[in-house]
């Protein structure tokens, strides 16, 4: 057999095999059966999902991350001489944030120390005066006894003609003067007793003047300590760049902020979403800054809507009233630490209310 006849035989064999092969199906024909079976199954799955979860969750996009923040402000006036933290720096409780010029308060402390020493010297001097007045009283009493005896003796001598009446009158006058001196000394004793606080057994440091001077000294020491401002809690400082060395600051002036504690979510739910919402129910938080959901739970409900706490609450007692669905802030506390969750971020909150709805259905 020649080569041409061989090729022809092969071609005829291939044609005969192709005539017995089933026709090739199109892509649509291949997908028809899976679609016919999968479509109804998908519909059934979707319907089953909504039947099982329908009304189980309440969600809102009106939710935001909140964080506790403390205003950092000095307790005294002064000039900033040192700043020890940077913007967005993590700090620990008691860590130095910045310092004020202590010179004025050091002078005030020295003055308070001098005033305390002077008060102690004055009190000790008053106690010495009181002791001296007591001695003066004893001497005056002895003088009265002597002058009265002398007056009586001169009177007897004058009556006997041994002494003159003038001598008797002089002795009587001296006795009267001695008695008046006792009254003067008693007044001086009362004044000295008042100067030492009314008590003869009182220690100098218990005297009101000394205690007042000690209080002023304590205040001066406290003010000096206030020249160094420290962090009241662990956290992160923010807006520090607005404070500069050389700034003159006032007491209670807010200089920057300390963000501390675990952040939470404040979700504003519509009033018709709250019927079955309870404290303790689990929640899911979605935040764009996180690539995974955060677990939380309902912690508390605000006692009023946002408008009820406004400076000028809306006046609804009008003839043109239109009902507007109100929103109530609900606090959701995270069940896990989220250290990089910043305050002010928007979030989506989803609360699982199944437990309350199941209990309501059981009743």
Instruction: Provide the residue ranges of all domains of the chain, joining segments of one domain with +.
Output: 55-68+261-309+323-363, 74-101+227-253, 103-224
Q: What does each C-alpha distance from 22 to 19, 25, 167, 206, 226 come to in angstroms?
A: 8, 9, 170, 118, 96
Residue range 85-90: mean pLDDT, rounded: 96
Res. 19 pLDDT band, cuts 50 70 90: low
- Indicate the average pLDDT of the chain: 84
Q: Write out pLDDT tens, residues 157-184.
A: 888 777 788 888 888 898 889 888 888 8
pLDDT attached to residue 17: 55
pLDDT attached to residue 155: 84
Res. 75 pLDDT band, cuts 50 70 90: very high
Residue range 25-34: mean pLDDT, rounded: 58
Q: What does each C-alpha distance from 99 to 76, 85, 102, 103 come to in angstroms?
A: 11, 11, 8, 12
For the record, the structure tokens of 134 come out as 């007591």
Rounded to the nearest 10 degrees, the angle between the axes of helix 103-160 and helix 165-195 is: 160
Residue range 220-231: mean pLDDT, rounded: 97
Class of 74-101+227-253 in CATH? mainly beta
What is the Cβ-side half-sphere exposure of residue 249, based on CA atoms within 13 angstroms?
28
Q: Could you tell me whether strands 282-287 and 235-238 are parallel, antiparallel, or unpaired per DSSP bridges?
A: unpaired
What's the rounded Cα separation, in Å, for the pair 204 and 211? 9
pLDDT attached to residue 51: 47
Least confident of 90-99, 274-283, 332-341: 332-341
Superfamily name and number for 55-68+261-309+323-363: Efflux pump adaptor protein, beta barrel domain (2.40.30.170)
In the chain, which ranges are continuous DSSP H helix?
Answer: 3-20, 27-53, 103-160, 165-195, 208-225, 354-362
Most confident of 19-23, 134-138, 297-301: 297-301
Q: Are 352 and 296 in contact (CB under 8 A)?
A: no
pLDDT attached to residue 61: 96
Q: Which residues contact 222 (CB under 8 A, 6 or more apart)?
A: none
What's the rounded Cα separation, in Å, for the pair 335 and 346? 18
Res. 334 pLDDT band, cuts 50 70 90: very high
What's the rounded Cα separation, in Å, for the pair 69 and 265? 15
Is the model's pLDDT at 189 over the cut of 50? yes
For the record, the structure tokens of 313 come out as 């609450």
Res. 194 pLDDT band, cuts 50 70 90: confident
What's the rounded Cα separation, in Å, for the pair 68 and 235? 10
Hey, how many other C-beta atoms are within 10 angstroms of the C-beta on 78? 23
């Amino acid at each position: 057999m020649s080569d041409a006849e061989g090729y022809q035989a092969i071609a005829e064999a291939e044609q005969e095999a192709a005539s017995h092969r089933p026709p090739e199906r199109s892509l649509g024909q291949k997908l028809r059966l899976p679609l016919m079976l999968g479509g109804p199954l998908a519909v059934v799955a979707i319907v089953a999902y909504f039947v099982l979860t329908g009304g189980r969750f309440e969600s809102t996009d009106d939710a935001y991350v909140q964080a506790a923040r403390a205003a950092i402000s000095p307790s005294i006036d002064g000039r900033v001489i040192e700043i020890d933290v940077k913007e967005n720096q993590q700090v620990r409780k008691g860590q130095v944030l910045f310092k004020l010029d202590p010179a004025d308060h050091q002078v005030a402390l020295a003055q308070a120390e001098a005033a305390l020493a002077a008060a102690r010297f004055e009190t000790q001097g008053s106690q010495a005066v009181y002791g001296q007045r007591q001695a003066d009283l004893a001497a005056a009493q002895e003088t009265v006894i002597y002058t009265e005896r002398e007056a009586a003796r001169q009177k007897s001598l004058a009556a006997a003609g041994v002494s003159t009446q003038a001598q008797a009158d002089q002795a009587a006058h001296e006795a009267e003067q001695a008695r008046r001196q006792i009254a003067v000394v008693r007044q001086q004793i009362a004044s000295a007793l008042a100067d030492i606080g009314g008590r003869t057994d009182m220690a100098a440091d218990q005297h009101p003047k000394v205690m007042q001077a000690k209080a002023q000294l304590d205040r001066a020491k406290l003010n000096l300590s206030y020249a160094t401002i420290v962090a009241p809690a662990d956290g992160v400082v923010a807006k520090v760049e607005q404070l500069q060395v050389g700034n003159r600051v006032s007491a209670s002036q807010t200089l920057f902020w300390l963000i501390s504690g675990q952040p939470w979510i404040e979700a504003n739910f519509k009033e018709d979403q709250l019927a079955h919402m309870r404290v303790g129910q689990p929640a899911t938080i979605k935040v764009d800054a996180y690539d995974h959901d955060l677990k939380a739970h309902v912690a508390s409900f605000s006692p009023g809507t946002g408008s009820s706490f406004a400076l000028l609450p809306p006046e609804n007692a009008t003839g043109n009233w239109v009902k507007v669905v109100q929103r109530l802030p609900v606090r959701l506390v995270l069940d896990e630490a989220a250290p990089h969750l910043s305050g002010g971020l928007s979030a989506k909150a989803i609360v699982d209310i199944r437990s309350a709805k199941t209990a309501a259905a059981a009743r």
